[in-house]
Amino acid sequence: MEFLPLFFDMKGKRCLIVGGGTIAYRKAHLIAKSGAVIDVVAPDICEDLSGIVKASKGQLLLKPYEHGLVDGYTLIIAATNCLVVNEQVSRDAQRGNIPVNVVDNPSLCSVILPAIIDRSPVVVAVSSGGKSPVLARQLRTKIESMIPSAYGRLGDLVGRFREAVKSRFQTIDQRRLFWEKTLDGPVAELVLAGKELEAQAALTDLLESEDEAVVGEVFLVGAGPGDPDLLTFKALRLMQKADVVLYDRLVSDEVVELCRKDAEYVYVGKARSEHSVPQLEINELLVKYAQEGRKVLRLKGGDPFIFGRGGEEIERLAELGIPFQVVPGITAAAGCASYSGIPLTHRDYSQSVSLVTGHLKNNTTDLNWEKLSFSDQTVVFYMGLTGLPVICQQLIAHGRAATTPIALIQQGTTRHHRVLTGTLETINAIVAAEKVRAPTLIIVGEVVNLHDKLNWFSPSV
Q: Tell me the binding residues.
A: 22-23, 43-44, 225, 301-303, 306, 331-332, 383, 412
Across 170-315, the runs of DSSP E, i.e. the strands, are: 217-222, 244-247, 264-267, 295-300
Q: What share of the chain is helix, strand, coil (3-state, %, to 5)?
A: 40, 20, 45
Q: How many Cβ atoms sit within 10 Å of the Cβ of residue 152? A: 17
Instruction: Provide the sign of the torsion angle of the four alpha carbons 192, 193, 197, 203, taken in this order.
Output: negative
- For 406, the enclosing helix (H) or strand (E) is strand 405-410
Q: Which of 270, 288, 295, 371 is catalytic?
A: 270
Q: Which of 39, 248, 295, 300 is catalytic?
A: 248
| Strand-strand pairing, 405-410 and 418-423 | antiparallel
Report the alpha-carbon distance of residue 393 to residue 149 in Å, rounded: 50
DSSP lists the bridge partners of residue 297 as 219, 245
Instruction: Provide the sign of the torsion angle of the four alpha carbons 69, 72, 77, 83, taken in this order.
Output: positive
Cβ-based neighbours of 148, under 8 Å, separated by 6 or more: 192, 233, 234, 237
- For 381, the enclosing helix (H) or strand (E) is strand 377-382
**Phi, psi dihedral angles at 152 (to 5 degrees):** -65, -45
Report the alpha-carbon distance of residue 382 to residue 307 in Å, rounded: 8
Report the alpha-carbon distance of residue 385 to residue 374 in Å, rounded: 22
- Contact, 11 vs 35, CB < 8 A? yes
CA dist 448 to 83, 395, 414, 421, Å? Answer: 58, 16, 20, 8
Which of 64-72's residues contact partners 24+ apart within 8 Å by CB, and which partners?
65/18, 65/41, 65/89, 67/92, 68/92, 69/16, 69/18, 69/41, 70/16, 70/96, 70/98, 70/100, 71/96, 72/14
Report the alpha-carbon distance of residue 26 to residue 24 in Å, rounded: 5
418: left (phi over 0), alpha (psi -120 to 50) or beta: beta
Instruction: Examine the residue annotation and report whether 248 is marked as an active-site residue of this protein.
Output: yes
Instruction: Examine the residue annotation and report whether 27 is marked as an active-site residue of this protein.
Output: no
Nearest to 117 by CA among 153, 143, 79: 143
Q: Which residues are annotated as a binding site for NAD(+)?
A: 22-23, 43-44
Positions marked catalytic: 248, 270
